[in-house]
Amino acid sequence: MTNSSAEAMIATPVLTGALVLVVGPSGAGKDALMEGARGALADDRRFRFARRLITRPALAGAEDHDSCDEAGFVAARARGELALSWAAHGLHYGIPARELAGIAGGEVVIANISRGAIGAAEALAERVVVVEITAPAAILAKRLAARGRESEADIAKRLSREARLVTERAALRRIVNDRSIAEGASELLGLLRALAGPA
């Protein structure tokens, strides 16, 4: 399954707080920048990085997430346990409702989602910011080639499908990650801290 689809639970109440939706194309370094920001904010209780539920096993060196099979995922969604869910590349992804609970108390919750899920996610909080992490096409192509997972033709096709991101009501910020991981993570950190206000 290559197309992304998203759905928000209709019964999910609108929350009051800050929800940061991080999106970006493959090769942009999104995971690296998020990991850098997560490490820097580990002891700051104003921030929470939402832990995702994914229908794949945990892999060494990959994102730390909760795993389940497809039947378990469907059941969790039916029970109303997922505030947001989407499908991409043959897998199901979800943000558990419990991960967003702190928004009502002023917490800044950072969630890694698919751009196809933005529309549904915008309904989950009053203050929503979409952070698009991207990079010039040449840099994206180089990073994807270094992974060795796709042919040059497949990479070119993937990059040609990337459309400019737009939002309905969320504020949109872009980080062009064509520098070091430390510099990119620092920019993301500055944005997140500005949302939280004084410590």
Residues tagged in the binding site annotation: 24-31
Q: How far apart are CA 161 and CA 159, in angstroms?
A: 5
Residue 12 burial (C-beta neighbours within 10 Å; 0-12, 13-18, 19+): middle
Distances (CA, A) of 79 to 73, 103, 125: 10, 21, 21
Question: Which tokens in the block code for residue 122?
Answer: 């915008």
Residue ranges for the known binding site for ATP are 24-31
- Residue 99 phi, psi (nearest 5): -70, -20
| Spatial contact of 97 and 83, defined as CB atoms under 8 Å apart | yes
Sign for the CA dihedral angle at 68, 74, 78, 80 comes to positive
Residue 153 tokens read as 């033709």
Residues 18-35 as b or e (16 or more Cβ within 10 Å = b): bbbbbbbbbbbbbeebbb
